[in-house]
Structure 1
Amino acid sequence: MSVDFQASLFDDLLGEPAAPVGGAPAGFGDLAAGLLRHRLGAGAWVDVRPGWVRGADELFARLVREVPWRAERRQMYDRVVDVPRLLKFYDAHEPLPDPVLAQARERLSAHYAEELGEPFTTAGLCYYRDGRDSVTWHGDRIGRSNRHDTMVAIVSLGDARRLSLRPRPGHATGEPVSFLVGHGDLLVMGGSCQRTWEHAVLKSTRPVGPRVSIQFRPHNVR
């Protein structure tokens, strides 16, 4: 599978070394440094850490080539439609497709251990090939997250796309917000966010390159 996207200059802007072309990612920045929490209301919050994964563009290229991506179809009201992105889910017992993802999961579990009270265990990968690929408004409310606070940590690789959030009618109030994430940025949705807010990656009419999203979740949260 070919890879064509605009590499990031963010490593240079942070003063952190990028990985050499063709080499392994250099690693991770300090997770706490540059992490900013946005309070959404109704107990929901979003943490954003720009450029957390150093050498993220090399990791993106490897995942596009090596992950066994699947095209899926789902029931939508009275018809079956194509899911507008490629998918691959790794359950807790399955090895992740790259050791960097396992390291990211471990670091996130350690950093959020006190708040979350349990580790991140699964990883859902989405491949957005261009601006026509998207995910509609939803909350990750399958499992315990339908009743309890939880976290979903998202690492974005490749071209930046806008992740939008809006209050769920009848559950929260507030102004919609959005975050442009890509090239190794980290975004974590926590507290009541999955129950009281909805999030989406909407279709784009402007030219955008491919993006891979990795969603780390605790046990029994989808």
Structure 2
Amino acid sequence: MALHALPLPAADLWLDPHFLSPTLAAALCDDLRAAVPWEQRSIRLFGREVAQPRLTAWYGDPGAAYTYSGLRWEPRPWRQQLDTLRRRVEAATGHRFNSVLLNLYRDGHDSMGWHADDEPELGPAPTIASLSLGATRRFRLRPRPGGPAAEPLGLDLGSGSLLLMRPPTQAHWQHALPKTSRAVGPRLNLTFRWVAGG
């Protein structure tokens, strides 16, 4: 299956729910969970330091440093399977990427709060390609303040799915991965990006 457009006003959103086969997606999830040097960094929230509710890693070309939530990430050199995935995502989307942010959600207690990927390093019109591995989780989008008069959207992103967010999506929409009380296994998310200067 190829990418198909999702109807969302003031956005350019595409989804391929079966970008990777279940067997390949499961093998990649297991390998990356075991091999990546995961970190759990702290951020300042309402005046106090709190640990991010997920594990994270950053890979990319030399110079593709990235800063978000006050944290600066220097890229680790590409692992072979990450570079292979990057080339495959580039071929499917027609976009180039020089870095990838990996987030490991260990269970339903791990999450990502509301945000837009609009850091200065990503440029004025960023394209983000998001690959999901492991457990299915509900990915949510909502209009940014002053954005389109539209209802929020929820997407159940399964293992091996690829979501492409092209401009102007980040300018008008926020996204999140909320906590869930359901018993759910680990989920690994890889968001490929182009960082200016990298």
| TM-score normalised over the length of structure 1 | 0.77
Q: 1:96 to 1:182 in 2, by over 3 A?
A: farther
Q: Is the 8 A contact 1:50 1:186 kept in 2?
A: yes
Structure 1 stretches lacking a partner, 5+ long = 1-32
Separation in structure 2 between the aligned mates of residue 220 and residue 206 of structure 1, nearest angstrom? 39
Q: How many matched pairs? A: 182
Separation in structure 1 between the aligned mates of residue 27 and residue 135 of structure 2, nearest angstrom? 13
1:96 to 58, 73, 78: 78
Match of 1:26? none
Residue identity (%)? 35
Q: Secondary structure at the match of 1:206?
A: coil
Q: Is the 8 A contact 1:182 1:211 kept in 2?
A: no
Separation in structure 1 between the aligned mates of residue 137 and residue 196 of structure 2, nearest angstrom? 27
Instruction: Tell me which moved more, 127-136 or 71-80.
Output: 71-80
- Structure 1 segments of 4 or more deviating over 4 A? none
| TM-score normalised over the length of structure 2 | 0.85
Q: Is the 8 A contact 2:139 2:176 kept in 1?
A: yes
Q: Is the 8 A contact 1:145 1:195 kept in 2?
A: no
Match of 1:174? 150
Structure 2 stretches lacking a partner, 5+ long = 63-75
Match of 2:70? none
| TM-superposition CA deviations, 1:48-85 (whole Å, max 9, x none) | 10121221101100011000000110001211111000
Q: Aligned ranges for residues 51-90 of structure 1 at < 5 Å?
A: 51-54=18-21, 55-90=24-59
Q: Which amino acid aligns with 1:196?
A: H
Q: Aligned ranges for residues 142-221 of structure 1 at < 5 Å?
A: 142-143=119-120, 145=122, 148-220=124-196
Higher relative contact order (CA 8 A, sep 6+): 2
| TM-superposition CA deviations, 1:16-38 (whole Å, max 9, x none) | xxxxxxxxxxxxxxxxx332111
1:124 to 101, 114, 128: 101
Match of 2:5? 37
Q: Secondary structure at the match of 2:148?
A: coil
Q: Which amino acid aligns with 2:12?
A: W
Separation in structure 1 between the aligned mates of residue 77 and residue 182 of structure 2, nearest angstrom? 36
Q: Secondary structure at the match of 1:183?
A: coil
Separation in structure 1 between the aligned mates of residue 111 and residue 186 of structure 2, nearest angstrom? 11
Superposed CA RMSD: 1.7
| TM-superposition CA deviations, 1:85-125 (whole Å, max 9, x none) | 0000113234323x332122113223433xx5xx1110100
Q: CA deviation at 1:145?
A: 4.5
